Amino acid sequence: MYHRLRVANRGGSAKETEEAVLVAVTKVSLGEIKKTVTLVGTAEPMTLVDVRSKVSGRIDLLGVEENDVVEAGKTVLAEIDRETYEAQLDQAKAAVKAAQGMAGSASAALVKAKKDRERASKLYEEGAIPERDEEAATAQYDVAVAQLKAAEAQVQQAEAAVKLAKIQYKESQVVAPIDGIVLKKHQDAGNMTAPTAPQGLFTIGEIRRLKCTANVSERYVGMLQAGETLVKVCPDAFPDANCRLPLTKISPIVDPMTRTSKIEVVVPNDDLKMKPGMFVRMIVTVDERKDTPVLPAEAVINIGTESSFVYVVDGGIACKRSVTVGLREGAIVEISDGLQADEKVVIKGQANLTDGSPIRLSLQGDSE
């Protein structure tokens, strides 16, 4: 909008009125501005375990269902042919007793053979028996020594079998390996299972904390720092349930195919509202400035891609001034060079201005 104003020249005489442009202005303020990038991420369980049986046999019992909460080392998930493994343990224990009995007999035989050898050796020295009798007693002693060693080895073997049977009996009862929730039940009672079975028993996940992961362009990797860079996590399913948390982990490698690196943020989920597999938007702060001159972006006029300027109000005159634009956040930009706090800058009407144009301030948008 234009207005005719009568402007007096320096000699005091009136000259032809000049055109004044109606503009709105604002003050340059010092503020905080961030540069963010928005990534599409996925919520994943903090820990995910595929629970399988370590022994083979029939599934006698499945103790939990999907969505049940389980406790590590305490919650019984399944029992596998437990009577069979208990019987094998009893059998192994009986084998130990039998082997120990054999070893006891062999030990007694060795004691007798040792005495017989000593007696025969003494009698041979006295000339009371021939050499062959002394050699036979010695040979019998050697046999007794070998038999005792074999019996002791049998005891050790039987004890090892007991140890193995105990392990198998213990593992025939499958307990929860982690604290978490049963996410998937894969088998039914009565089915046969084995360590190498195509399908496990359960999938258990820790989901009271979730790790939200996304891939970020390599150009931003150097700006990120685990423990300090803040990330706003916004689940698409719950737009109001967002939180701002520090970055937990940055992958040490860049995928050469996508030129991206994976980042991770751990999100509390005590109410179990978020579900594994959900899409989340991860708004990552890659740069941040504080106490820096900021302006509405509409105040800045760009020429090409490298040159920018604004109109600064000096009295009733609009003065064109080059500026350097820094970070942008929504409708706000940082002026890293060219302006000072509290200077007035035109934000509306600048399309009709040239350097030195007289201006008239509109009531709307003025900043005193």
CA distance 262 to 255: 9
Q: Is the entire prediction scored with pTM above 0.75?
A: no
**Which tokens hold the place of 23?**
């503009």
Q: Would you list the DSSP string of 276-295? A: TT-EEEEEEEEEEEEEEEEE
Q: Is the dihedral of CA 15, 19, 24, 26 positive or negative?
A: negative
CA 197 to each of CA 28, 100, 177: distance values in angstroms, whole numbers, following the listed order: 70, 38, 19
Tell me if residue 9 falls in helix, strand or coil: coil
CA distance 312 to 301: 12
Task: Give pLDDT tens digits along the chain (368 positions).
Answer: 444 344 444 344 333 445 788 999 999 999 999 888 999 999 999 999 999 999 999 999 999 999 999 999 999 999 999 999 999 999 999 999 999 999 999 999 999 999 999 999 999 888 888 999 989 999 999 999 999 999 999 999 999 999 999 999 999 999 999 999 999 999 999 999 999 999 999 999 999 999 999 999 999 998 999 999 989 999 988 877 778 899 999 999 999 999 999 999 999 998 888 899 999 999 998 888 899 999 999 999 987 667 899 999 998 899 999 999 989 888 999 999 999 999 999 999 888 889 999 999 885 554 44
At 19 the pLDDT is 79
CA distance 224 to 246: 10
**Which tokens hold the place of 92?**
């192994």
Q: Would you list the DSSP string of 83-96? A: HHHHHHHHHHHHHH
Which helix or strand (DSSP H or E) is residue 150 part of? Answer: helix 131-171
At 236 the pLDDT is 85
At 363 the pLDDT is 54
Residue 231 one-letter amino acid: V
CA distance 99 to 255: 61
Virtual torsion, Cα 324, 334, 314, 306, nearest 10 deg: 20
Residue 199: other Cβ atoms inside 10 A: 10
Of 2.70.180.20, 3.20.20.70, 2.40.420.20, 2.60.40.10, which CATH number belongs to 2-28+300-361? 2.40.420.20
At 157 the pLDDT is 96
Residue 296: other Cβ atoms inside 10 A: 15
At 186 the pLDDT is 95
Place of tokens 């708004």: 283
- 3-state SS string for 228-248: CCEEEEEECCCCCCCEEEECC
CA distance 295 to 335: 7
What is the chain's Cα-based Rg?
A: 44
At 241 the pLDDT is 75
At 77 the pLDDT is 97
In angstroms, how far is the first alpha carbon of the chain from the final one?
21
At 292 the pLDDT is 93
Q: Domain spanning 36-47+204-288: which CATH class is it, in words?
A: mainly beta
At 350 the pLDDT is 87
